[in-house]
A and B are shown apart, each in its own frame.
Chain A
Amino acid sequence: MKLARDLRILLPFMVLIAIWWGIKDGAGVSDRLLAAPPAVWNAFVWLVTHGVLAEYASTSLQMIGFAALLSFAIGVPLGFAVGTNRYAARALEGTLRYLQGISGIAWLPLAILWFGFTHTTTLVIVIYTLIVPIVFNTMTGVRAIPENYVLALRSLGASRLRIVIDVYLPGSLPSIVVGLRLGMGYGWRALIAAEMLVRQGGLGDLIFGARTFNQIDRIMVGMIVIGVLYIIVDRLLVQPIESMTLARWGVLRR
């Protein structure tokens, strides 16, 4: 049964590879434009055995991991502060929406001027990208909590801290996880883009560097790895938290 399910997930990818191979060989596309699957596989093996892929991939993973932790640590309390204050929420909602329109990449020129071609620049861009959906979703999660939950606890003599721990935190958790999941998606893309410009390691650096030497096979290895790593992070880390909280508490809001 599990095998059948795995096959269903893998099948579209096989089709995709078949189309790619078909176009490459059938239309006779030049090696300078597109590499065939075996060539990409060979490049993959070379990059793995020489430790190149591990080095570049670990840089990217460390960056996204660090950025996610920091964004979470700053974004959640910020979202709480704003979400529990009606006036602040109303004032900031527009600003946050506006900032979501200016992508992290658009901040790159300024960030490079301020911090140079460094990891700091990359981190600033990724954190900026990650933190906005986290703050936004934490805020909306907090605001969607029925007022009665809070009032009931206040009349049971609960302190402010107690209300945060017993009501706001569990009540907004599903929304926070959605924010984190979105943020990870946006952040991962921003990271790759920033790495291409900053050129201080990471998968973005790998594929952009490969372009200068026309290493099509390498570029394609990098792209595939970028996608695979994203799926792994999302499926293995973020999604389980989401289903855990939602399944246990049922439908939180009616």
Chain B
Amino acid sequence: MPSGKISVSGFRHFFPTEGGPVQATGVIDLAIREGEFVTLVGPSGCGKTTLLKAIAGFITPSEGTILCDGKRVTAPGRERGVVFQELAILPWRTVRRNIAHGLEIARVPRVERERTVERLIGLMGLNGFEDRYPHELSGGMRQRVAVARTWAADPEIILMDEPFSAVDAMTRLTLQEELGRLCATTRKTVFFITHSVEEAVFLADRVLVMTKRPGTIKAVLDVPRHDHGGRDWDSFTADPEMRNIEEQVMHLVHAERVAG
């Protein structure tokens, strides 16, 4: 049995439909170590989100087990934070109150709560927007709030489902750098889903490549880190080693696309 912060063994999932069960994923085994940033890249519909939802505890796997710190995952839990692609922060709460939500639920005392929220507002560059409602913010801003809310609750594991895909390209670059820095300073275990190869390599300690539906993991690539902070796009693009890994991943993903 694989060991790690998260370990998935023999996972396979089917969705019930009127025409009988539809296979969402193939058999998946994977282990994520503590403090590791793992990205998962694969064609759309391959079952990436299904796997993430199972780790989050939103769905019960049809087959196999998911362990988190050696304990079987049966429901969502505070130790596993989730950042969604969109529509996750509440429109009727201000930025500040959205970020504080997890802390309110955990009954963190007011003073400590405010301190944490202030710190994250600073880290995510949300100063001056504390008392705005989500509909007054841009898409990029809203995702910052979503990320800040998850970080504020201080989970050990963070699951991210294409969090920046609905954001414009320019903002995305900034958000990716900010996320890298945030992770480097907070040492979270992160499982990050994307369909962007570049993003997958840029953020990861390890990249997993999935096949098309029903998806299984076809390759695992290590992305070495030479510094201890987050990466930045300028040095990333200038680094031939990184470009090389990106190309390898691109080939693997491309093969799935052609085959599809």
A: residues with CB less than 8 A from B are 146, 148-149, 151-158, 162, 166-167, 170-171, 248-252, 254
Interface size of B in residues (CB-CB distance below 8 Å): 30
Q: A166 and B90: CB pair below 8 A?
A: yes
Query: Across the two chains, which residue of chain A brings its CB closest to B135?
Result: A250
Question: Within the complex, which residue of A151, A158, A171 is in contact with B56, where a contact is CB–CB below 8 Å?
Answer: A151
A252 and B90 alpha carbons, distance in the complex (Å): 9
Q: Which of A146, A157, A166 contacts B87 (CB 8 A)?
A: A146
Query: Given A151-B58, A151-B76, A249–B105 Cβ distance below 8 Å?
Result: no
B135 near A249 with CB under 8 A, answer yes
Query: Scoring B residues 114 to 142 as 1 if CB is less than 8 Å from chain A, else 0, what string do you get?
Result: 00000000000000000001111000000
Task: Say yes or no: is B213 at the interface (Cβ < 8 Å to chain A).
Answer: no
Contact yes or no, A155 B92, CB < 8 A: no
A170–B91 CA distance with the chains assembled, in angstroms: 9
Decide yes or no: A155 and B76 within 8 Å by CB, A166-B101, A250-B135, A251-B135 being known contacts: yes
A-side contacts of B133, CB under 8 Å: 248-250
Task: Provide 25 A-B residue pairs closer than 8 Å at the C-beta atoms, listed in order of the A residue.
Answer: A148-B84, A148-B87, A151-B82, A152-B82, A152-B84, A154-B76, A155-B155, A156-B101, A156-B105, A156-B149, A156-B153, A157-B76, A157-B78, A157-B106, A158-B105, A162-B105, A166-B90, A170-B92, A248-B92, A250-B133, A250-B134, A250-B135, A252-B91, A252-B92, A254-B87
Q: Is B224 interfacial (CB 8 A cutoff)?
A: no
Q: A167 and B88 in contact (CB under 8 A), knowing A153-B101, A157-B77?
A: no
B80 touches A (CB below 8 Å): yes
Number of A-B residue pairs with CB-CB distance less than 8 Å in the complex they form:
74
Given the interface contacts A152-B88, A156-B101, A157-B106, does A250 sit within 8 Å of B136 by beta carbon?
yes
Interface of B is mostly: loop
User: Which B residues have a C-beta under 8 Å from some C-beta of A?
Assistant: 56-58, 75-78, 80-82, 84, 86-92, 101-102, 105-106, 133-136, 146, 149, 153, 155
- Closest Cβ–Cβ distance, residue A98 to chain B (whole Å): 24
Least Cβ–Cβ distance between A114 and chain B, in angstroms: 43
* Inter-subunit contact A167/B82 (CB<8 Å): no
CA distance A27 to B50 in the complex (A): 76
Q: Which residues of chain A are near B87, meaning CB under 8 Å?
A: 146, 148-149, 254
Given contacts A151-B88, A250-B91, 18 further A-B contacts (CB under 8 A): A146-B88, A148-B88, A151-B58, A151-B82, A153-B105, A154-B58, A155-B57, A155-B81, A155-B155, A156-B78, A156-B102, A157-B78, A157-B106, A157-B153, A162-B105, A171-B92, A248-B133, A250-B134
